[in-house]
Amino acid sequence: MAARGWRIAGEGGFDLLVLGVMLPGTSGLAIARQLRAQRDSHANPHVDGAGFDAEGLGMTLRRTNLSELVDSVVQQNAALAHEKGVTLRAVTAEQPVVASADESGVRRILLILVDNALKHTPEGGAVTVSAAAAAGGSILAVEDTGEGISAAALPHIFERFYRADPARGSGSGFGLRLSIAQAIAQAHGSAIEVSSPPGAGAQFSLPLKR
């Protein structure tokens, strides 16, 4: 039985495999439970992310169909969204949206962002994952109708273990997971951008070169 993901070393020889875990033959519900268990496991104070090395990610950039990737990630998280009573949808153009990217790395970014959005979107809300063409490249985005992020917290949300926002930052490992996603984005020569108008949820976007 094989597992794939980002391994983060902590104190006392403790290891944590962060998101992106895929076990052969697992159902969508089983995957959803795995993601939830991983999210909850980040509360362990001995996991500090010290073993995560962005420079050692070994990204292999090649032509990647972002439309198919968005559809795949949405399907993978459908069971968890249904369980929470949240509408999860994919929005892509008629023509495939492509970019120069490491498919495995970008998938992990989307998994982290979608898991984060589902965590902070109440029952009856919606999470939208999209891929769109842009000048000279493409943009991936994850948008939710949750409680949003305070203006004071926005500059810090990619810091490891940041959870000062009483609304959106109260969950364990909030900054750790987003810092991992940002490190993968930076390995692509890009960066995740975030906006959160007051009371209007949050949108995370990732521009990628074509």
pLDDT in tens, 115-141: 999 999 999 999 999 999 998 899 999
End-to-end CA distance of the chain: 35
The domain spans of the chain are 60-209
**pLDDT tens, 179-203?**
999 999 999 999 999 999 877 899 9
What is the DSSP annotation of 162-196?
A: ----TTTS-STTHHHHHHHHHHHHHHTT---EEE-
pTM equals 0.71
Q: Is there a contact between 47 and 161 (Cβ–Cβ < 8 Å)?
A: no
Residue 197 token pair: 């108008």
Distance CA 119, CA 183 (A): 21
Tens-place pLDDT, residues 55-101: 456 789 999 999 999 999 999 999 999 999 999 999 999 999 999 99
What lies within 8 Å, CB to CB, of 49 at 6+ separation is 8, 160, 161, 176, 179, 180
Q: Specify the CATH number for 60-209; select among 3.30.420.10, 3.40.50.720, 3.30.70.580, 3.30.565.10.
A: 3.30.565.10
pLDDT the model gives residue 35:
44
